[in-house]
């Protein structure tokens, strides 16, 4: 058990509290961290600038306004044709579905009446 009383005895090396001291000064360690951060930021900026730089000849195509309006009207015409084709297909499908329902009802009627006559 440790002696908590204060005495006038002489402290030896075994009684002293030891702590690790850094080899380099605090200013040198902080400077090293700041240097690494600056180098990393510069490298990141360089890579970003290199990636964003256009490689080769890149230009946007120039399209005349009348060509754009022609293309728009053609696209609208194709869209209207697609809508008309879908509407006609839907009406054909509805008619076929009605015919199938009618035939199923007739088949059910014939099965019910044919089974009773046997």
Residue 114: the pLDDT is 80
Alpha-carbon gap, residue 82 to 69, rounded angstroms: 20
**Mean pLDDT of the chain, nearest integer:** 84
Q: Domains of the chain: which residue ranges?
A: 65-118
**Angle value at C-alpha 62, between 58 and 67, nearest 5 degrees:** 145
**Per-residue pLDDT reduced to its tens digit, 25-42:** 888 989 999 999 999 999
Residue 116: the pLDDT is 58
Spatial contact of 65 and 58, defined as CB atoms under 8 Å apart: no
Alpha-carbon gap, residue 7 to 30, rounded angstroms: 42
Residue 52: the pLDDT is 84
Question: Percent of the chain, pLDDT > 90?
Answer: 53
Residue 48: the pLDDT is 92
Give residues with Cβ within 8 angstroms of 65, minimum separation 6: none
DSSP state of 2: -
């Amino acid at each position: 058990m440790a002696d908590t009383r204060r005495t006038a005895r002489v402290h030896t090396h075994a009684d002293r509290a030891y702590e690790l001291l850094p080899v380099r000064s605090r200013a040198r360690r902080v400077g090293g961290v700041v240097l690494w951060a600056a180098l990393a930021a510069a490298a990141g900026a360089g890579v970003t600038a290199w990636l964003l730089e256009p490689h080769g000849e890149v230009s946007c195509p120039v399209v005349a306004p009348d060509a754009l309006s022609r293309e728009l009207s053609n696209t609208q015409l194709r869209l209207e044709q697609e809508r008309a084709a879908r509407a006609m297909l839907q009406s054909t499908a509805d008619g076929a579905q009605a015919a199938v329902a009618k035939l199923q009802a007739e088949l059910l009627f014939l099965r019910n009446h044919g089974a009773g006559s046997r």
